[in-house]
Structure 1
């Protein structure tokens, strides 16, 4: 199986793509990774669109996308462009097209780039399953190609670039019937259009594979790169994005999990972060993700390529008198022990509630918190009531706390487990309710271990043959795996590959420690580093920590702990590995939106954010309706001015519900399905 989808799994190298000219600002090739966003103002509002575009450019947006749902909006792109150029703004404009080839053909004569969605450009989605013979399928593909050909010819004539942008939620019935709801279907949907572009000698093309599900999104981009190479097609630049990421912290975490995972492997030439917020809020997040890689190659410490382990295996075989040869140099990715195009969780033994079939666990680092009291555990999701003298855990309650050299001086709430350094465990009388954490050297020589669970700190360098032997021999051992390499995610992944190669099945807690960063930097970096591993099925838990300046107060420490705890759960949810809260699949709004998306999302969140694990799609129009929220449990979709359609999955249940009644009726629908629970109200105040 050809697994090669990036230049290297261990060394930071950007994929060298074809340069595409977009106005006066080229992308791909050796150009920097570009930032893109999309206006939310009605395209017929010329001055509103211009003012918003100027704010976006001021915020760092380099390409501005504007929806053109019909010919009249496409025509008005000319007026918007004239006014922008008059004001000295030369940012390339991109027309966003759905369903309307005639609007695309007009827009291609005006703007610098058009975006088409192959799922609904001369194709259709009615959720029908269609039986095709090879000949009838080929005939349908040819019909679509002929409808697409005029746009290609116009773009070629006018020097207009094109993005062929596949969306997971809007795959056509034809593609779904042939390939299923899969990353392969997404890739094939784009390649059908791309093959025609190459036949017409038109190469000014950008590709994207967007999805709200981060696992699907990452798999599709990887598979696209592999298929381009396999078919001998041009290495077209990639536009990265997670659709309907949502708002605030959740939207940023989800975007970083998907986009950051690909950036780590050198994929991506332009980035759009889709937030249910004002579009000028998107560019700084995209830039923060991109800037992390500006000096990555120079800052990274060398990581041994996978071929090094392969060569070691050959030497071992030779020593045993077995055949083995290393005459063929195999690409690094082809030696990967995992399938990069399909999710499989690493097989591990179960140790208490870690590994096996357990969800990944969250560990909170309290080792530097001074003077810990009952109420302080609220920062890690365990709420203490002094009146009732008992704890109450919320859905974001940490599973473990690491106290290091300072064991917690009081009884912990039921279900919360404490981890202490080995020396503190020994000095404290080897308490059965404390679990020791060893260094690799301590673990190798220790004569006393906990009978049920022992943690061992490791990094890639410490995973020697001897250390692996100790882990293999102890069914109670769980690794806490860390790195100080700037190229962090690939180094930890490399350590996982060594464990898999040596058939070590001990569970692993991913440990990421950050220097003094802004809360948003920590959020984005941790979501990238940990999320990228989780998407590949690697990791049975997470512990995050960050440095604080010595003069920080206890309150500031608690605030940081609370942020890190919520971040840990947010990353697990964004990677689809542990659902601990309501998930909102909400689009970022555009000129097609039929209601105030930010206000409506906030209102729905206020009423429903206590529903653990329920997924709610909130879409501004039918374009981003049942398809884009493909795996949501319920959907809230604008279908007209002041009118909402409510969905159960992909099935419309209520049509044209007045907007002022829609949230109540959405809740009634959940009640019918037995998925609604009343929000819990604490009878007594919680201290802390």
Structure 2
């Protein structure tokens, strides 16, 4: 925050961090509007105050991180760009241009925000801007600041950092949790582990034209099929494929509780919308907001109320029995070709459940949805993700990165998470946990809603944001956050 302190540190430490929002500029809102001449005068003032630090770093061989923070953009940047990713990028670029003019390049940049959507857009835009202006990129340090604690902090960090690593963006990472610092490193390692020995993709997608902007959020246009797609919030599918008989008591794990005395269901804020039951049907009366998806063959035999069929890929086109209301079609991303797209176009009963078995499943599914968008086919899409990781911590990262990354690009009308609990070696979450997960169904349901919450597409509970760096120096942030949670 203080140029004088930074200049002293530059001669001692290996790297200094500068926040463009408060190194010279301030956030006092003393001046709201800036003319072009006034704006340029402020740039000159920054150059005058920032140049000594750059020269000292050159002299001592000290590296510098130019780290923009979404929560501390200056009055001047806010007046011209607003509270946007573009403002974050320009805030850093002003300092980077000055450093380059002094032939100083020992620089790392970061674009941190507590909102993964803003954070991802800012990094992507920064890379684009550097290539446009300099035809080269500086190293990038990734992080979601003030991510929170428990599952929320881990999921938000994984979505923001992982989505960028999936894009090939990022050189170092930091996970910021409102927990003891030693709990941050394991989360970092789980995120990075996804990219160890990642094989090169041998499938060539050619010269792809994007039907969406990676720099701004706009939800993909889709048809409304029952409560799926269009302006409806994304639906959550609870996977009961491996369960035996499904009983009313089992639904407590996905947000429903039955009271036998009143013969009524109570429905939680994080209650799943659909159950996939495999080759089973349900024999009891369902809550009003819950429906069953079962295999097409079983559905055709019984055609129970509240049940809908699931077809496997192209099986749908040759099937004789279809639902007049909703037909779910599970399809591998690579199968979504021109012929498939033409076949589903115009059918307002279809909901696609797109999955990928590839290591780079996020890119495969994104490419498949992009094909639908290019063809102006508005079939609703449920993002289906299966994790084969051996620990619950790793699965939390897998689900967050792959599903969350696609929702950040506006590509999901629903989420369906799957795993095989019998193959997991550890079912205990490291660090704090606030969401009760007594079994695998509860874990998958909690994770689904937490991902949707993190990408701001479906809000189901209060979100707590706190800054670990500042808070630790003033009071016990963990204890204070817990007290706030307990009374709100």
Superposition TM-score, scaled by structure 2 size? 0.95
- Post-superposition shift, 1:102? 0.6
Q: In 2, distance between residues paired with 1:119 and 1:142? A: 15
Q: Output aligned runs, 1:587-598, within 5 Å.
A: 587-590=467-470, 593-598=473-478
Is residue 147–residue 176 contact of structure 2 (8 Å, CA) maintained in 1? Answer: yes
Q: Deviation per CA, 1:210-236: give whole Å up to 9, x if none.
A: 111111110000000000011116411
Contact persistence 2:391–2:424 (CA under 8 A): no
**CA distance 1:150–1:339, shift in 2 (3 Å):** same
Give the Cα–Cα distance (whole angstroms) in 2 for the partners of residues 372 and 433 of structure 1. 15
Once superposed, what is the RMSD of the aligned Cα atoms?
A: 1.7
- Report if aligned partners of 1:117, 1:166 keep a CA contact under 8 Å in 2: yes
Name which of 334, 346, 356 aligns with 2:230: 356
In structure 1, C-alpha distance between the alignment counterparts of 2:144 and 2:327, rounded to whole Å: 38
**Could you say what secondary structure the match of 2:219 adopts?**
coil
1:459/1:495 contact within 8 Å kept = no
What is the CA–CA distance in structure 1 between the aligned matches of 2:210 and 2:149, rounded to whole Å? 35
Runs of 4+ in structure 1 off by over 4 angstroms are none
Cα contact 1:589–1:597 (8 A) shared by 2: no
Q: 1:136 — aligned with what? A: 38
Residue pair 2:68, 2:110 contacting (<8 A) in 1 also:
yes
* Separation of aligned partners in 1, 2:103 and 2:424: 63
Pair 1:384–1:365, CA change in 2 (3 A): same
Name 1:484's counterpart in structure 2.
357
1:180 Cα deviation after fit: 1.4
Q: Residues of 2 paired with 1:558 and 1:371: CA distance?
A: 19
Mapped contact 2:390–2:423 kept (Cα < 8 A):
no
Q: What pairs up with 1:554-633 in 2 under 5 angstroms?
A: 559-590=439-470, 593-608=473-488
How far apart are 1:129 and its partner, in Å?
Answer: 4.8
| Residue 181 (str. 1) matches residue 83 (str. 2) | yes
Larger radius of gyration between Structure 1 and Structure 2: 1
1:320-358 deviations in Å (ceiling 9; x for gaps): xxxxxxxxxxxx5xx211111110100001111000000
Please show how residues 83-482 of structure 1 align to structure 2 within 5 Å. Answer: 98=1, 100-232=2-134, 234-298=136-200, 300=201, 302-307=202-207, 332=208, 335-428=209-302, 430-482=303-355
What's the secondary structure of 1:461's corresponding residue? helix
Instruction: After TM superposition, give the deviation of residue 107 of structure 1 in Å.
Output: 1.0
**How far apart, in 1, do the equivalents of 2:66 and 2:30 lie?**
24
Contact 2:270 2:449 in 1 (8 A): yes
Q: Say which of 531, 545, 562 aligns to 2:418.
A: 545
Q: Using a 3 Å threshold, how does the CA distance of structure 1 residues 197 and 516 change in structure 2: closer, same or farther? A: closer
Hey, what's the Cα distance between the residues in 1 that align with 2:17 and 2:384? 40
Distance in 1 (CA, whole Å) between partners of 2:287 and 2:354 is: 27
Counterpart secondary structure, 1:188 = helix
- Identify unmatched segments of 5+ residues in structure 2: 426-436
Contact 1:444 1:467 in 2 (8 A): no
1: CA distance, partners of 2:417 / 2:405:
15
1:628 alignment partner in structure 2? none
1:128 Cα offset (Å): 4.4
Are the equivalent residues in 2 in contact too, given 1:516–1:547 (CA < 8 A)? no
TM-score normalised per structure 1: 0.68
Aligned partner of residue 34 in structure 2, secondary structure: coil
Note the C-alpha offset of 1:424.
0.4
SS of match in other structure, 2:293: strand
Paired with 2:258 and 2:153, the residues of 1 have a C-alpha distance of: 30
Q: Secondary structure at the match of 2:465?
A: strand
Q: Is the CA contact (8 Å cut-off) linking 2:191 and 2:397 kept in structure 1?
A: yes
